[in-house]
Amino acid sequence: VTIMALEFLNQIIQGALIGGLYVLFAIGLSLSLGVMRFVNIAHGDLIVLSSFILMSFSAILGLSPFIAAALLMPVAFLAFYALQRLLLQRLVGTNLLGVILVTFGLAIVIQNGLLQTYGPDTRKLSGGALELKSISIGGGLSIGLYPLLVFATAVVVIFALDRFLYRTSIGSRIRAVADDPAAANLIGLPSAKIYGIAMGVVGLTVMSAACCMSIWTNFDPEIGPSRLLIAFEVVVLGGLGSLWGTLVGGIIIGVAQNLGAQVDAAWQILTQHLVFLVILFLRPQGLFSRGSRT
Amino acid sequence: VSNPSGLAPYVPSAGATADKVGRLQMLTLALRILLVIAIVLLGAGPWLFDLNQMTLLTEFFTLLVLALMWNLLAGYADIVTVGQQGFVGVGAYAFFGLAALAGLDPFLSIILAAAMTAVLAVPALLFILRLRLAYLAVGTWVLADVLSLIAGKLPGFGGGSGVSLPISIARAFGGSVSQRVITLYILAFILAAAALTTTWCLLRSRVGLGLTAMRDNEEGAKSAGIDVPRMRVICFLWTAPFLGLAGTLVTLQKVRVAPSASFSITDWTIYIIFAVVIGGIGSLEGPIIGTALFLLLREYLADFGAWYLILLGAVSIAVILIEPRGLWGVWRRFFPIDVIPVSHKSPKNMDRTDFAGTSRLKHGLHHRAETEQKA
């Protein structure tokens, strides 16, 4: 019985740690939700696209994925800035249908573009010796150093984003534009540019999520949608606009998945969805909702 | 009478307008006659087409039903769903369960499968009503994913790899392959015709008027006393039995059920969204044009695999940016007519109401100018 309890505890700890990765998926989605007022359907595929770019970039230059990801950060910022200014900004102020259909089209183009370029094979990047190290936490349980680092990254990213949005002037401008674009325009905020910068920040979170994911798990061109669903559930569970709520949402989804995975792969996803549905039913506004924004 | 808008009234020379209106009326009449002829010819399909053509047309009818339903939700009720494959799959699995596992009459099973899909739509609706509008698209997707995963766990349905329909059930639809193709063709034709006519009637009814008002201005519609949530509920429940019926037809065509095929997001939602967007969302002509074009393109481009989807995705992004009303919207820029009129003519003047706000404004000013002249 003790062994079973320990094994159960172990699964919860491992699940909570992979929750850190899911938080990284979700933070960008949460921020872009504020900008676009809609769930970006291409979010998961953008993470996968970034993983493939990271893979090629680190292979060509012979760099470790961590250094390659750091070098690609400015590129990700500019690419997302451009995506917002050149494509998505055209739809701001029109009905939501246009935004959702364009991100939907983008998702399909990215998925099939990757399939055409890289083929359907499963990939994984190597994090080197870091991946193999683990720390013993007593009771015969140990946790991997790499999952712990990813979780720490998630906490740091949330902390930094919280500071950025609530302590800097550009952050308060982003919140102003996200809360009420018309009023922000009235007081002369350059909303197009601010939207662009916010999406640029989303690009930074997407690249860090891509780096963490591609070393931790296998990926292929078709996993974007399942990453989107994870990110979506984490955002909804956490409560719209609540960054720290996202952390709790990520842990819940990670633990639910890990417990379901004890049965089989289908139950892994099914448990994830069912836990999400139950919590949504009990608390439609999310666990930690910050005000009501639609 | 003063002109409060301050804009110069739009008054085209009377002769030219009458001439143009007359020509447009002729064109409308011609296209409507063409549509009726097409429907009659399709109805007489078994005497006109060979088996391959009938198989392709059966698929056209099935996809058309899906396109009409997605268009009703996304184009009128503001419910953009990415999860309609969920109800298609439920229809397929319900039919298999009733006909193959419970041993009911196959034709009765089709009807019961549609009823079961409609019943299942109620709890799905409860979930959907809990979601913010911004969450709807992905929320429906989660729901469809859950249904698909559960289908893979049901005993008797072959798990994740699915199971073939017993030959005895296929036999109920015709002793030979060609007879089965004909039966399926007729069933699919009836379903598509029913979906088109009843959806048209729905859109012409109070519900449709409310939906149009809601789409044009939700706040305005609410303040005019339109129960917007009720309209959404009616539309959502409306689509479920049709999607379920489409699912049973798909099962009969493929002669098997499997989670990946019966609940395929690519086949039953992604392609459908592209077809409707390219054809023209928010009209009944659009889904028909889009579905036909989609199947035509597929005949020629299917070999290109991923490139075909990249092309469809890129084209629909371009459509949204350039002409959100799709090909039918482009056509209407040149010939502002309704072949299948969803809106009612205004009682006093014979102006056609228009999707584009600009021409409605133009007509409005035109009308005002006429009344001014009378005054």
Chunk chain A into consecutive blocks of 10 residues (it has 294) and report each block's average pLDDT, rounded to whole numbers: 84 92 94 80 96 95 92 96 90 77 93 94 87 81 90 94 91 85 80 89 96 94 94 89 89 94 88 92 78 44
Residue among B71, B79, B85, B149 with most chain A CBs within 10 A, to mutate? B149
On chain A, the residues whose CB falls within 8 A of the CB of B320 are 91, 98, 101-102, 105
Q: Between chains, do B138 and A232 touch, taking CB under 8 Å as contact? A: yes
* Rounded Cα gap, residues B88 and B241, in angstroms: 9
Q: Is B142 on the interface with A (CB under 8 A)?
A: yes
How is residue A162 written in tokens? Answer: 């919280």
Q: Between chains, do A100 and B142 touch, taking CB under 8 Å as contact? A: no
ipTM, two decimals: 0.90
- With CA atoms as reference, the chain A residue closest to B326 would be A98
Considering only CB atoms, B137 lies closest to which of A100, A108, A294, namely A100
Listed range (A17-31, B58-72, B192-206, B223-237) with the worst mean pLDDT: B223-237
Shortest Cα distance, chain A CAs vs residue B253, angstroms? 27
Closest CA to A177 of A28, A33, A35, A32: A35
Closest CA to A276 of B233, B120, B146, B259: B146
Residue among B142, B154, B271, B278 with most chain A CBs within 10 A, to mutate? B142
Question: Which residues contact residue A77 at a Cβ distance below 8 angstroms, ignoring those fewer than 6 apart?
Answer: A200, A201, A203, A204
Q: Between chains, do A102 and B134 touch, taking CB under 8 Å as contact? A: no
The per-residue pLDDT for B84 is 93
What b/e readout covers B245-268, taking b as 16+ CB neighbours within 10 angstroms?
Answer: bbbbbbbbbeebbbbbbbbbbebb
On chain A, the residues whose CB falls within 8 A of the CB of B218 are none
Is the predicted pLDDT of residue B357 greater than 80, yes or no? no
Q: pLDDT for B260-297, tens place per residue?
A: 999 999 899 999 999 999 999 988 999 999 999 999 98
* Rounded Cα gap, residues B207 and B59, in angstroms: 30
Phi and psi at B80, nearest 5°, equal: -85, 105
Q: Between chains, do B146 and A274 touch, taking CB under 8 Å as contact? A: yes
Q: pLDDT for B114-161, tens place per residue?
A: 999 999 999 998 888 888 777 888 889 999 999 999 999 998 888 888
Considering only CB atoms, B316 lies closest to which of A38, A105, A113, namely A105
Considering only CB atoms, A270 lies closest to which of B146, B277, B314, namely B146
Q: Is B145 on the interface with A (CB under 8 A)?
A: yes
Q: Is B167 on the interface with A (CB under 8 A)?
A: no
The per-residue pLDDT for B4 is 37
Q: Judging by DSSP bridges, how do beta strands A134-136 and A142-144 pair with one another?
A: antiparallel
The per-residue pLDDT for B355 is 43
Q: Is B314 on the interface with A (CB under 8 A)?
A: yes
- With CA atoms as reference, the chain A residue closest to B140 would be A229
The pTM assigned to this predicted structure is 0.87
Q: pLDDT for B3-55, tens place per residue?
A: 333 334 444 444 556 777 888 888 888 888 999 999 999 888 888 899 889 99
The per-residue pLDDT for B257 is 93
Q: pLDDT for A60-96, tens place per residue?
A: 999 999 999 999 999 999 999 999 999 988 887 666 7
On chain A, the residues whose CB falls within 8 A of the CB of B305 are 116
Is the predicted pLDDT of residue B364 greater than 50, yes or no? no
Q: Between chains, do A269 and B142 touch, taking CB under 8 Å as contact? A: no
CB-CB contact of A281 with B127 (8 Å): yes
Q: Between chains, do A270 and B313 touch, taking CB under 8 Å as contact? A: no
Single-letter amino acid, residue B308: Y
Query: Considering chain B, what percentage of its residues have pLDDT values greater than 70?
Result: 87
Shortest Cα distance, chain B CAs vs residue A114, angstroms? 9
Decide: helix, strand or coil at residue A205. helix
Q: Between chains, do B130 and A38 touch, taking CB under 8 Å as contact? A: no
Single-letter amino acid, residue B80: V
Q: Between chains, do B135 and A236 touch, taking CB under 8 Å as contact? A: yes
On chain B, the residues whose CB falls within 8 A of the CB of A269 are 145, 149
Considering only CB atoms, A38 lies closest to which of B134, B307, B312, namely B134
* Rounded Cα gap, residues B233 and B236, in angstroms: 5
Q: Look up tokens 């550009």; give the residue.
A: A170
Shortest Cα distance, chain A CAs vs residue B49, angstroms? 35
CB-CB contact of B75 with B283 (8 Å): yes
The per-residue pLDDT for B346 is 57
Highest mean pLDDT among A94-98, A108-112, B206-210, B318-322: A108-112
Single-letter amino acid, residue B124: A
The per-residue pLDDT for A113 is 95
Q: Between chains, do B306 and A106 touch, taking CB under 8 Å as contact? A: no
Q: Between chains, do B137 and A232 touch, taking CB under 8 Å as contact? A: no
* Rounded Cα gap, residues A247 and A273, in angstroms: 17
For all residues of chain B together, what is the average pLDDT? 84
Is the predicted pLDDT of residue B252 greater than 70, yes or no? yes
Res. B367 pLDDT band, cuts 50 70 90: very low
Shortest Cα distance, chain B CAs vs residue A65, angstroms? 28
Q: Is B311 on the interface with A (CB under 8 A)?
A: no
CB-CB contact of B152 with B258 (8 Å): no
With a CB-CB cutoff of 8 Å, which residues 53-92 of chain B face chain A? 74, 78, 80, 82
Considering only CB atoms, B270 lies closest to which of A90, A108, A229, namely A108
Question: Which residues contact residue B230 at a Cβ distance below 8 angstroms, ignoring those fewer than 6 apart?
Answer: none
* Rounded Cα gap, residues A2 and B65, in angstroms: 57
On chain A, the residues whose CB falls within 8 A of the CB of B131 are 236, 280, 284
Considering only CB atoms, A39 lies closest to which of B138, B281, B314, namely B138
